[in-house]
Structure 1
């Protein structure tokens, strides 16, 4: 508890505590049968990881597997703080692979779906960081991440629309994620965000829809059928230059599709 509080309240002590040899004993305490000791240990590791110089030492001292174990077996506080600690460690690129291969992704998806509001936020932020790596994107999709992401984006009262959309924007660079998003009913939710969301939410929804539509005529057709063009035209009158360019690109894709369908119907009638 003393180390936990020192590392939280005295940033200048974080490196000193690590150099004094505290990290390995704290890691061992994360596996203690004493739940309070577990919580103090994982929170101490989290607080020490706020010092950039400590991240490598924490990971190399064997913290990743016990942190992942706490995601599965810990108290709600331990799970939340384990997710935060993994987020901090994932800011070192090579740790993203190690964390993903240690089984963290399905457990973070479970926390995203079933945790409290803080747990959902911690899980989404950790997943956003970890899923910059392709193999972790695949793991997240296989773990069923799309269902909770779509549900959270559809619930404006969840306070998770932005965070969920940002995680989704990272995932949809892989085909498996785009397929899963459509299967979970994500397109109507994204179009609704463009209609009624905040400016930031609207812009991230456009980024996602553009990635979905660029190489798939069927998905593009689904977006058009949801009535996306009028709210997109309204959105094109506001926002940053970069955002307006993406909106205009998406509008053009949808208009080309509509023109192509009209031409095909005319050809069929003529025949």
Structure 2
């Protein structure tokens, strides 16, 4: 049974998934972020409501291409993003109408005659700030649907393609990364939104971004695909159909621990309860780089690799033989001595699978 081992929940000091994405995998149910917003807290933060409303009003009145309006919008979004970083204030920000105003500024206003010589002032910066702030607001499940209902997803998907119509720059990379992170947070533990992302065409550009030159964009795209693949068969199939596997397997060999951690996580979610995809992954050559990650300096990657090998070992006896022949057993045994309880748990799971008679 796939639920023989339960992966312990990952914690984050900030609790914001956009800053530290949680493991999503074989042995845990969807998790809910718990941050009660008590009446006392509510009262304590209500004095911020006038300030939030002021910033929302600025956003509602500055959707134009003039430099003054773009600068005002950028400042207002920055204020809202700083407030949204505090989970106890997120409700106030949402209740004061920030979501539709922020969604509006995911779009680029028409460049009128008052524009700066054909150049959009603060190009990409306003949209990046809006995507980032919406991602912070999406930390609470009750806000995810509100943001999607405000039609944020089509605009976020458009932002994923920004590099195709704009010269590559740090600003372009930033807006793409924030859009991918926002999609990750919106779809987290929300099966209907995962499906909606696919319907809105979000998966092909995310797969394409796995090959992006900027490593931060690569990681963000992989993180979004990891979330979208979790317990969603149609999303899994489309990710594979978009030819993501060769790139993901290359990412497994990356020296950047964050990149190979996200890549092994995507693959793990793809193969979970999907025997056909599991075969595709093995045929694509994933086994050796996954075994290599057992010796990674990144404990999270080690855990994911051990878990994935346990999944591979359930395929057939030939696969078990290949796993053993390619050197997986010694590092798995070494992991049993780790002080990390989750490492011990995952290595024991993988070794147990290898020892089972099929």
8 Å contact 1:237–1:244 — kept in the other structure?
Answer: no
How big is each residue's C-alpha offset from its partner over 1:114-154, in whole Å with a ceiling of 9 and x where there is no partner?
A: 14121122112212211112211111111222222221221
User: Which residues of 2 match residues 112-123 of structure 1 at below 5 A?
Assistant: 112-123=210-221
The alignment yields a C-alpha RMSD, in angstroms, of 2.7
User: Which residues of 2 match residues 208-247 of structure 1 at below 5 A?
Assistant: 208-238=308-338, 239-240=340-341, 241-247=344-350
Structure ranking higher in helix proportion: 1
8 Å contact 2:187–2:193 — kept in the other structure?
Answer: yes
After the TM superposition, which of the residue ranges 58-67 and 234-243 deviates more from structure 2? 234-243
Equivalent position of 1:249 in the other structure: 352
User: Which residues of 2 match residues 71-110 of structure 1 at below 5 A?
Assistant: 71-74=160-163, 75-91=172-188, 92-110=190-208
Hey, what's the Cα distance between the residues in 2 that align with 1:230 and 1:117?
Answer: 32
Per the TM alignment, residue 219 of structure 1 is displaced from its structure 2 partner at its CA by 2.5
Is it true that 1:153 corresponds to 2:239 in the alignment? no
Hey, what's the Cα distance between the residues in 2 that align with 1:200 and 1:30?
Answer: 33
8 Å contact 1:7–1:14 — kept in the other structure?
Answer: no
Give the TM-score, by structure 1 length.
0.81
Q: Which sections of structure 1, spanning at least 5 residues, go unmatched?
A: 258-271
Tell me which stretches of 4 or more aligned residues in structure 1 moved more than 6 Å.
Answer: none
Is it true that 1:66 corresponds to 2:66 in the alignment? no
8 Å contact 1:152–1:161 — kept in the other structure?
Answer: yes
8 Å contact 1:113–1:120 — kept in the other structure?
Answer: yes
Q: Rate the CA distance shift 1:95–1:196 in 2: closer, same or farther, 3 A.
A: closer
After the TM superposition, which of the residue ranges 205-214 and 190-199 deviates more from structure 2? 190-199
| Greater RCO (Cα-Cα under 8 Å, separation 6 or more) | 2
Give the TM-score, by structure 2 length.
0.63
Q: Which sections of structure 2, spanning at least 5 residues, go unmatched?
A: 1-73, 111-119, 164-171
Give the secondary-structure state (helix, strand or coil) at the position aligned to 1:10: helix
8 Å contact 2:251–2:260 — kept in the other structure?
Answer: yes
Return the match for 2:266 from 167, 175, 185: 167
Return the match for 1:30 from 74, 92, 106: 106
Per the TM alignment, residue 82 of structure 1 is displaced from its structure 2 partner at its CA by 0.9
8 Å contact 1:31–1:38 — kept in the other structure?
Answer: no
Give the secondary-structure state (helix, strand or coil) at the position aligned to 1:114: coil
8 Å contact 1:18–1:48 — kept in the other structure?
Answer: no
